[in-house]
Amino acid sequence: MTHPIRTVAVLGGGFVGVATAYALQRRGFDVTLVERHRYPAMETSFANGGQLSASNAEVWTHPATVLKGLKWMLSPDAPLLVNPRPSWHKYSWMAAFLAAMPQYRRNTVETARMAIAARGHLADWAVEEGIAFDRESRGILHVYRSKAAFDHAAKVSRLYAEAGLERSALDAAGLRTVEPALTGPLYGGFHTPSDQSGDIHKFAAGLARAVARRGGQTLWGHEVVHLTPEMGGTSVTLRTEGRTRQCRFDAVVISAGVASRALARQCGDRVNIYPVKGYSITVDLADAASRAAAPRVSLLDDETKLVSSRLGEGRLRVAGTAEFNGANRDIRADRIAPLVRWVETLFPEVSTEAVTPWAGLRPMMPDMMPKVGAGRAPGVFYNTGHGHLGWTLGAVTAEMLAERMAGQGARRLHPVSAPPAAGAPALARAA
């Protein structure tokens, strides 16, 4: 049996949680956003690859990816690293990953569809709330160094076309026409002009300010220590500055990234998220020569599995690596070195004198599909588990969940669409 929902606590203030709070608020819910850090988007949504990439929607549950992964496990420099120490969570997650292979095609098409839909929401929100986030709209260029990898990508293009995503095949010369800064021996690639990139942390911070401006309650520095679903609501125990207190909400949405699994367990749900660690570097393009030599177009290098995004004039973000090592957040020098080397090899005129390293944990479901919807207990909902595509998909899954919850009886307090904020950048709706 469902109960009417008016007050909602969104648990987790990463990009996905902030987006969920915003989408709910616009449908009239009385929203409280709870985040244990002092600021929004300080964990996985802090310094990711920056790509808003429908063209990276291919799920990894494919035999070719698994074979490549096994080969990589033998090489210390490879983009994949698995700590072989036995862990029930890790190996049961991997078994579920293999079991999801029959859904490869369906999940790839569905992810691409969601990614295309997400663009429009993100662009609309940026306009309405006046959020500047170093957005770059020159598309995403996937580069391949071998014919075999290029041929596989051509097959994936057909799946993307089913979802309505167009991308064009290019030879090596064509790649350099799109991004003249590219160097080195390349076979060819694909350009997706409708894809974009931008700074997830700037966007999430701007959207969190909008939630507060529109009357939402934002509880920074508040940790959710316990959840108790009850009749007609959920009791949430919060800890802040050493003190605990109890709050009650008609509904909660769990958007706590890699911590969602533990919170879900308290509500009687199994949300099988594994933390898949990745690394990034942010290169400070301090001098004019570096700024001229750094790529403008967002890149995905298939062989190294590294992505890059230009963040404004002065920064180049490079990200990658999948490390299966539990909830470990250490920044390892030997995993950062290949990212720096990639910049130095492909863009030798870019200075790597000032580089900021970072590591984050992707909240990854075994079938690579986010968990969006209701849990077992009435009033418990999820928007989490976006893995390597939370920035790309978060806006649309927030809208999907909010729409579903609105069907359960919220009062509409605000109009769904508000006029643009003064001074907002003129962004076109992208899809």
Ligand X SMILES: Cc1cc2nc3c(=O)[nH]c(=O)nc-3n(C[C@H](O)[C@H](O)[C@H](O)COP(=O)(O)OP(=O)(O)OC[C@H]3O[C@@H](n4cnc5c(N)ncnc54)[C@H](O)[C@@H]3O)c2cc1C
Q: Which of 210, 372, 377, 389 forms a contact with ligand X (CB under 6 A)?
A: 389
Tell me the three state secondary structure of residue 254: strand
Stretch of residues binding ligand X (CB under 6 A), selected from 165-173, 252-260, 323-331, 413-421 = 252-260
Q: Which of 34, 127, 236, 281 forms a contact with ligand X (CB under 6 A)?
A: 34
Please state the three-class secondary structure of 59-115 as a single string: CCCCHHHHHHHHHHCCCCCCCEEECCCCCHHHHHHHHHHHHCHHHHHHHHHHHHHHH
The pairing of beta strand 30-35 with beta strand 217-220: parallel
45 or 108: whose CB is closer to ligand X?
45
CA-CA distance, 121 to 89, in Å (whole number)? 35
What is the nearest approach in angstroms of ligand X to the Cβ of residue 360? 4
Stretch of residues binding ligand X (CB under 6 A), selected from 74-82, 173-181, 328-336, 387-395 = 387-395
42 or 101: whose CB is closer to ligand X?
42
The 10 Å CB-count burial string (b at 16+, else e) for 321-359 is: bbbbbbeeeeebeebbebbeebbeebbeebbbeebebbb
Q: Chain-centre distance of CA 310, in angstroms?
A: 17
- Answer yes or no whether residue 392 interacts with ligand X by CB under 6 A: yes
- Answer yes or no whether residue 51 interacts with ligand X by CB under 6 A: yes
Stretch of residues binding ligand X (CB under 6 A), selected from 2-10, 59-67, 158-166, 274-282 = 274-282
Following DSSP, what letter does each residue of 204-215 receive, concatenated? HHHHHHHHHHTT
What is the nearest approach in angstroms of ligand X to the Cβ of residue 280? 5
What is the nearest approach in angstroms of ligand X to the Cβ of residue 258? 6
DSSP state letter for 187: -
Tell me the three state secondary structure of residue 282: strand
What is the radius of gyration, based on Cα positions, of the chain? 21
- Answer yes or no whether residue 13 interacts with ligand X by CB under 6 A: yes
Q: Which of 256, 365, 398, 430 forms a contact with ligand X (CB under 6 A)?
A: 256
CA distances from 201 to 39, 78, 332 (A): 10, 28, 22
- Answer yes or no whether residue 280 interacts with ligand X by CB under 6 A: yes
- Answer yes or no whether residue 375 interacts with ligand X by CB under 6 A: no
Stretch of residues binding ligand X (CB under 6 A), selected from 90-98, 141-149, 209-217, 253-261 = 253-261
List contacts with ligand X (CB under 6 A).
12-17, 34-37, 41-45, 48-51, 53, 223-224, 255-257, 259, 278-280, 307, 319, 360, 362-363, 384, 386-392
